[in-house]
Structure 1
Amino acid sequence: MVELKTQSDTPDVSNLQKCANFLHAFMLGFDVIDAVALLRMDELYVESFEIKDVNTLGGEHLLRAIGRLSGKGGRTKFAIDNATRTRIVIADTKKF
């Protein structure tokens, strides 16, 4: 458990929300550099979903869908990241 607090010298209380967003992104599996961008830029946000939320897949079908998102050596994921100017994390399941 992590407790976030402001101090008397905290210039802006919205920094607390930025910190929470950073921790959330990091815990979802984003690189630290990408999570730090949430602290610096106000127009960034994190959105997450599970493939099972979009389509009911199981077994080999689910693995195939994840494989297609990743691509060989992560090339498809990298191409999506660059084309959409986003960062994507492909993880097993959401932990929280």
Structure 2
Amino acid sequence: MDDANQIYVPPSFTALFTSPSGRLTEPVSIVRERYELCEDLAQLLTEHACDMRSRTGRPEGELLRTMQLGLSEAGAQVRPFEAEWVVKRLAELLDWEVPT
């Protein structure tokens, strides 16, 4: 990522846009925009996930899988591979186990 921008895109996200040869498959600006969207989404979902857990009593992994399915639906703001990253990031933020 270029040094002119202050936003740090973690390697776990950059990997989503990296070819087997190690080159980005999208321009840096697009990767950064997608990261900002996905990170914001994960942050916004923390309260919702905790609320759902306390209201329903469903296991954390089940809630995260359900959220990933919802994020992966047609017409969603994120692509399925980004939805998977969002859910992993959400699990990290909540200190929940990442669903398999």
Scaled by the length of structure 2, what TM-score is found? 0.41
Give the structure-1-normalised TM-score.
Answer: 0.42
Structure (1 or 2) with the greater helix fraction: 2
Q: Greater CA radius of gyration, 1 or 2?
A: 1
